[in-house]
Chain A
């Protein structure tokens, strides 16, 4: 195993961004036909390293060797030419183009005999489609060349990205957080493909922050933290806890400690709710459920099954097509966000930078984003700076927000601290009866995740109803008292969180029919 040829060798890579040393003398190598996982929290420097290897960033110092050849990669074009392919976290596909067209994009076959001929020649889709077919058979990557990419499920789109790289003769593949958008079943499929690719000599860098995956798929594991390589190990030599400790630099509690819930009265009552998304497609299709005071109801589901629209409808941000929403015995159907807030809603939105914060505002201003008009912050239409200051100082301390001062703009904080600003603002409001937390820990470091989980459970224990929506199955399972599985705009089933397995939830999330009666 270790005797294999090194195909990619990076030595002493250093990359400085304003205020951040993103890569600090990083060494990383990749052997032929192996899966080398790069593990680290968000902001650990994984993506920076890969962008250097892919020619998107130029390193300040250090050298990169591909197949023993010293290289200066100054653009992705160079990297592709040298056989490096990358599948980004957000796919770089044109949704209205067919699979074939996407694959040939930027690598159109040139049939001109001389460069002087007119460049306006017919695109040869047939030949490409043929090659796509043979590639997909060769590697077990099923894709239909004529399908329109926008119509394909996410997992298949990812396959298209992989075929695209192979089409460009890549023998080194960088997969950036490839499972973030997949169902557990789709992820299994991906693992099978990755395995298939390596047996045929393709070498793979697998970037992730999920420990289980790393152990399941990697031949070697390199852990990064704070821009440095912490160490390299193999799945045989390590386990989840050790990896987690390497990632965060301390032991973390992977399970959330919580007492038994004592649910009381219904706080949120949703009946036959129907909502359309921005494309005017009905993505919430007759959903009914209740959340009781003192319990956490988790909504499990693969992203894009209506959770976003559900959360927006439940917070007044999106118009509803039908059904009713009742919060604390008040009918809030069709009411505005402000009325929801005033009726006792605290909302941790899915996209903290788009909805939750005004990045150019100070922390102090962001902490009154929803309450600026009420005493003590707004009196007779005039902002009370003193009250704003006091409020932010108190919340910064109470919620451990790491900021140099309340007057720093929120955009300058790390993701974890930005989220803490939102959590502090929402959970500290007087008279909160319901918390809607949508992806509350997405993209955060383990320390912040732990903290936010504790706060959410503390709200529950204080008798607040909590609706948790998360694409992280582990998070839903760890926090929830009951779990509702959402698939294709419907709630497939609602079960007791203690009596269900990860595998079972995964099957329901993927759309398999419910066999047992719902709890």
Chain B
């Protein structure tokens, strides 16, 4: 009996190892291809691609400070990337992370600056931080549940509805930050909330570096999402609805409820991205603080093959590129915008994986990444 067990173990690990290799193959080759093409672009505009990439790597991962800043960038990417990836697993395309994130940030900021005043007491951090973050999660959860319910019970495409709701969310946010929630410090002219209370702030990990405990939290949440999806019965339901809604019905799964909850949980994660940015980094919500995290998250989820581990790695890569770009520009005068080109190329190669497979002569796999069933599917 024991020997049989021993025989099984390496087999299992080997299997997992091969699965990771298979999953990582296309993304890694896509990144590689994008770097090559990006290098050609840099050379064509008269730069030295080697110097540029060296500057990029130094700026991103070359020092303790560089790593710290990369992790700061990576934190919202991980949360938002997980949000999009979770929805993909459930067969849903959440383009609304941007709006869910904005509402999460607004709710968190409000709890952060207004709650002590309303209650008339300073809250201890142990209470105030969870309350503030919880408010952001709840806001994202509820906001995303709406397109989820529209999809489940009225057949409305979540793709269209989440895009629409982004505009609604961003305009309401703009109204709130310019009006009722505006920082009324007489010196302030921009649309932003007051600073949140000291007690609502996530502390930094090391003095002198900006990286805060939100980053380890993001890693824990990534693990929890993985556990939810692959180890729980509810995760089984989400994946079944995503992979084959007809089989889900057949299996007795209440797929409408699963759709609403998947969307809502995706929104919760996006809301968390906003909440952690407010409590860990900015200490307030400011219009235009999210420079498209919700959209980058789609690229990150795709590059990470909608797997939490992949999302973490893709986030650190994207964060590094954003972070290192400044140093690259400083050293080589190559504009930071080249980073957007490279990121777009990566996404292009990942999304159109047939190109990558063709270039590198990889045999087609049967099981393609199933993302969404599209219209009412």
Contacts and interface: CB of A to CB of B under 8 A. Distances in A.
B236 A372 contact: yes
B233 A354 contact: no
Interface in A315-338: 315-317, 336-338
Interface in B157-174: none
Interface in B337-377: 363-364, 366-367, 370
B251 A382 contact: no
A115 interface: no
Contact of B247 (A336, A358, A385): A358
How many chain B residues sit at the interface, stated as a range, is 20 to 34
B366 A358 contact: no
B188 interface: no
Given A369-B240, A381-B232, A411-B366, A337 B247 contact: no
B223 interface: no
Given A382-B231, A412-B366, A347 B243 contact: no
Interface in B230-257: 230-236, 239-240, 243-244, 246-247, 249-254
A301 interface: no
A409 B233 contact: no
A336 B251 contact: no
A17 to B, nearest CB: 11
Given A337-B249, A409-B367, A360 B233 contact: no
Contact of A317 (B15, B244, B249): B249
A341 interface: yes
A378 B244 contact: no
Contacts of A347: 250
Given A383-B233, A383-B236, A336 B252 contact: yes
Nearest to B364: A18
Contacts of B239: 361
A360 B250 contact: no
Nearest to A351: B246
Given A381-B232, A382-B232, A369 B243 contact: no
Contacts of A381: 232-234
A170 B89 CA distance: 49
A188 to B, nearest CB: 36
A354 B245 CA distance: 9
Contacts of A316: 252
A411 B367 contact: yes
Contact of B244 (A337, A359, A407, A412): A359
B243 A336 contact: no
Interface string B107-149: 0000000000000000000000000000000000000000000
B83 to A, nearest CB: 22
A356 interface: yes
Q: Which of B244, B364, B366 has the most CB of A within 10 A?
A: B244
A387 to B, nearest CB: 12
Interface in B205-244: 230-236, 239-240, 243-244
Given A18-B364, A372-B233, 12 more contacts: A340-B252, A349-B250, A357-B247, A358-B243, A358-B244, A361-B239, A361-B243, A381-B233, A382-B231, A383-B230, A385-B231, A411-B366
